[in-house]
Amino acid sequence: MKKFLAGCTLLLLFPATMVFSQQGKLISFELKDQFGREFSHEDFSGYVLVLVGSDKGGSTYNPLWAGAIHDSLTSHDQFDALRFIGVSDLRGVPFFLKGFVRSKFPKAKERWVLMDWKGIFPKAYQFEENHCNLLIFKRDGTLAYQTSVQDLVPDKMRVILTKLRSLLQADDPS
């Protein structure tokens, strides 16, 4: 009986440690955006990456934060080394509503968002519901910073921008 319980305990802990061990790095993924274009973790290798993700409740904060971060860094001399990914947590959407839900996303190709139907990002990085979840990764895919936000807060924005500027300079390949 003790062996059985020990085995069950290991089985329960194993998936949790797998997710936990991946939190320090950008997870491997292949997801499509609302236009059907496929992206993978390999597409962002070598870039400082800002991942902006949420469920429906947090989606109103995403453009606010992503836009403010983007606009604040456009004049940075390493801006070309920065990439943004939008991720939508859609794991609760029934399969027959996928087309309808997809049609509610931005129509402009430059405002693409990854459709995370299985919730791989929210599960791996413990996204907070009804918040904009911001994750910053170094060029090597290491998670450098993570926070959950709602309304734009200048102090929080300063912390994020300081972190990004530091990473862009530190990771400067030239």
Has this prediction a pTM greater than 0.95?
Answer: no
- CATH (domain of 42): 3.40.30.10
Domain range enclosing 143 = 2-170
Backbone torsions φ then ψ of 135, nearest 5 degrees: -125, 135
The DSSP string of 68-106 is: HHHHHHTTSTTGGGEEEEEEEE-TTS-GGGHHHHHHTS-
For the chain, the domain total comes to: 1
Q: Over its length of 174 residues, how does the chain's per-residue pLDDT go in tens digits? A: 444 444 444 334 434 333 333 469 999 999 999 999 999 999 999 999 999 999 999 999 999 999 999 999 999 999 999 999 999 999 999 999 999 999 999 999 999 999 999 999 999 999 999 999 999 999 999 999 999 999 999 999 999 999 999 999 985 555
